[in-house]
Each structure stands twice: as C-alpha cells, then as structure tokens.
Amino acid sequence: MMETIGFLETNSIAKGVEAADFILKAAEVELLFAKPVCPGKYNILFCGEVAAVTASLEAGERSAEHFVVDKVVIPRVHPQVIAAINLASPVTDVNAVGVMEFYSITAAVYAADAAVKAAEVDLMDVRLGTGIGGKSFVVLTGDVAAVGEAVKAGVATAEEQGFVVSSVVIPNPRREIFEALM
C-alpha cells in the first residue's frame, strides 16, 4: 500500500520530462505515471516514503522552475484516490452525485483526497486534464449529506490557490447521469 504520493504539474512538456527525471534521481520513489495532457501540460505522479517523496518533489520543482503550475505531497493518501485516477471505481450508490471542477490538474488530486477523508463517499473518477483543456474534475457519490460535506472539504483545499472552477451536489440524479460521467 502506498504511504505517500507526490504530484507535480508543469505547463511545459520538456521541463516536465526533465522534472520527472530529477524526481526519480533525487530519492527512492516509484513513478506511477508521467505524461503530457492538454493543453501542453505535463503531469508526474509518484509514491514512496514521506521524506523521499518530499525530497523528490522539491528536486522536480527546482528543475521545472517557473513552469510549475501546482504541486502536492499527500501523506497517507486515501486508496480511493488512486483507484479513481485509474478509473477503477464502479458506481454503486445513486443517492447523490458531487462534481468538483478545477483549473489545476493537481487540485483534483488533493481535493479528492480531502473529500474522501471528510465524509463517507465513494470516488468514481478523478479526471486529470486529458481532453478537457487542461482542467480537471472529481466525481463522487454517496448520501446527499455526505456528498455535500465531501464537496465542501474538497473545494476548500483548492480555493486558497484560486483553482476552483465550480462544484455541484445533485440529489437523486438519474442513472443516465452516472453513465454519462463514466
């Protein structure tokens, strides 16, 4: 099980590739993915022990310089976050759906972690910028009150940076809404 994840988002593909190399050389971490997303951003997700992830992120950030859009280290990341990034979370509850939308791709990762730790919800998807103009969004489900609390907690983590586009909580959505989101 992963203890800690690090995520670095750059607005340069070339500097992102270089930052990924610095990240992997700085400390003992495991690369989960490093890839370009539109519109010309580069995302790096890696894991390891807290100190190693922190040191690696700092090395990647120094390498990427002013091309860094956002970054985060999440100790004790909730397992649902990684499953939702990999689209491995089946829809089981249709009581309410919450959607949080962000300008930063990284914001979706830390907002998803905050949301799932704040309330009894299931993450369905953490969509990281591919095909949506470099924005990101998180989809979660559960009881109406829990979804409301989770969305509130998730959005609060990204509001300080000004990365929130919008959020909604939809009670009793039609089943087609879930199917369209997946």
For residue 149, the SS3 value is: helix
Residue extents of the structural domains in the chain: 4-75, 79-181
CATH 3.30.70.1710 fits 4-75, yes or no: yes
- Tell me how many degrees the CA angle 1-86-69 measures, rounded to the nearest 5: 95
The superfamily in CATH containing domain 79-181 is BMC (bacterial microcompartment) domain (3.30.70.1710)
Dump pLDDT digits (tens) for 112-147: 999 999 999 999 988 887 777 778 899 999 999 999
Burial tier of 162 (Cβ tally within 10 Å: 0-12, 13-18, 19+): exposed
Dump pLDDT digits (tens) for 51-71: 999 999 999 999 999 999 999
Pick 167 or 94 by higher pLDDT.
167
Fold match between domain 4-75 and domain 79-181: yes
